[in-house]
Structure 1
Amino acid sequence: MDLGIIGQAAGLFAVTNVDDILILSLFFAQGAGRRGSTRRIVAGQYLGFAAILAVAVAAAFGATFLPESAIPYLGLLPLVLGLKAAWQAWRSHRNGGDEEKGGAGDEGPGPWEVAAVTFANGGDNIGVYVPVLATAGVGGMSVYAVVFLILVAVWCRAGMFFATRPVIAKALSRWGHILLPLVLIAIGLLILIEGGAFGL
């Protein structure tokens, strides 16, 4: 196995997914103390990234399941989820509920919620991955896929690490129910605006 390709794959993943660590930290903080939440968040992260990878690989082979003009509209996913989380946090606060839960429900973030955010946030990664995978050949593409999937686990571990550091955990516990909706809404708007969706 070519170490050069492994290094390139690791570098490409790190550069295109650095913002995911913040989002994962917020999800892990939201699910803290809820049984099975870690498993659901990790499953959601893998589902979302596997979808990104599948679309990128298919496009590298010439199939275009996701037209380039549709990618900016992926911003609607985190935007809607952020608005939903904001509504739940506001409703929970208004009803005198525990702010730390932030209206996330008894189970914390679900796998489909995490997957949707991961896929939408990584929609622009597809455009970066396609030419790299197309020129890597089948063997190189396999190396990229394996390295990417291993690094998803590393990213999940990093997100969990940051969410459980005492200072960060205390801040996320206190402000996470506000930060998560704000981050999701910001990501959604950024994807929509940068992609020129709705003529923005």
Structure 2
Amino acid sequence: MLEAFILQAIGLFIATNIDDIIVLSLFFARGAGRSDTTAKIVVGQYLGFGAILVASVVVALGARSFLPESVIPYFGLIPLALGLHAGWQVWRGEGDDDDDDARAAGKPLSAATVAAVTFANGGDNIGVYVPVFVTVGTAGIIAYSSVFLLLVGGLVLAARFVATRKPIAARLERWEHVLFPLVLIGLGLVILLEGGAFGI
């Protein structure tokens, strides 16, 4: 029984989080060369994913008033706002710096930003996890959650691996200032549109 939960949890995690590799890779590219980048991304990813798990468990246990399903699409406003802010900085030229040392140091990241984007991108996760958690009971929820939390570390390592491959890293470094806001804006719009936010 436990083995079945573990295998199902692995498959479910991969299916609902594979897109995070792209977003996390861009975070790694954004903070390339800074000694605290990996730690902030790990902390932010765990905080964001932990919030997704808590919300999923609470809703699955029947506290629907905590997180009404109609609210989930509006999480798209978080990456949309962050992306628009980053795009505004690029347009104003605030992110440009011809100093090689400054570029080598990367841009500062905050764990809170990573957590916010992770949580906002987790609307589909919550929608998938809740019905599963409702059917597997307390033991299943604990098994799934434990596997998910272990795999979060693997997800961050996979994104770091992708972002540090020389050909990929070179392209990410060259285009990160454009891709980062575009991916966040796109992510926010997808979450809003797929969830039917604002009656769209």
Structures share a fold, TM > 0.5? yes
> For the residues of structure 1 that align with 2:61 and 2:197, how far apart are their CA atoms?
27
> For the residues of structure 1 that align with 2:135 and 2:193, how far apart are their CA atoms?
30
Shift of 1:186: 0.3
What's 2:173 paired with? Answer: 173
Shift of 1:99: 9.2
Partners of 2:30 and 2:106 within 8 A in 1: no
Q: How big is the alpha-carbon RMSD for the aligned residues of Structure 1 and Structure 2?
A: 2.2
Give deviations 1:46-88, integer Å, cap 9, x for gaps.
0000000000001111012111111111100000000111112
Partners of 2:44 and 2:112 within 8 A in 1: yes
Question: Residues 176 and 101 from structure 1, CA distance in 2 versus in 1: closer, same or farther, beyond 3 angstroms?
Answer: farther
Partners of 2:51 and 2:119 within 8 A in 1: yes
> For the residues of structure 2 that align with 1:99 and 1:84, how far apart are their CA atoms?
23
Shift of 1:97: 2.0
> For the residues of structure 1 that align with 2:6 and 2:49, how far apart are their CA atoms?
18
What's 1:24 paired with? Answer: 24
1:88 aligns with 2:97: no
User: Percent identical across equivalent pairs?
Assistant: 58
Shift of 1:90: 2.4
Q: Give every structure 1 segment of 4 or more consecutive aligned residues whose post-TM-superposition deviation is greater than 6 Å.
A: 99-103
> For the residues of structure 1 that align with 2:58 and 2:101, how far apart are their CA atoms?
39
**How many residues are treated as equivalent by the alignment?**
198
What's 1:50 paired with? Answer: 50
> For the residues of structure 2 that align with 1:52 and 1:75, how far apart are their CA atoms?
14
Shift of 1:42: 0.8
Question: Residues 98 and 124 from structure 1, CA distance in 2 versus in 1: closer, same or farther, beyond 3 angstroms?
Answer: farther
Partners of 1:100 and 1:176 within 8 A in 2: no
The runs of 5 or more residues in structure 2 that have no matched partner are none
Give the TM-score, by structure 2 length: 0.92
Partners of 1:72 and 1:192 within 8 A in 2: yes
Question: Residues 196 and 173 from structure 1, CA distance in 2 versus in 1: closer, same or farther, beyond 3 angstroms?
Answer: same
Question: Residues 182 and 101 from structure 1, CA distance in 2 versus in 1: closer, same or farther, beyond 3 angstroms?
Answer: farther
Amino acid at match of 1:86: G
Partners of 2:32 and 2:107 within 8 A in 1: no
Question: Residues 145 and 54 from structure 1, CA distance in 2 versus in 1: closer, same or farther, beyond 3 angstroms?
Answer: same
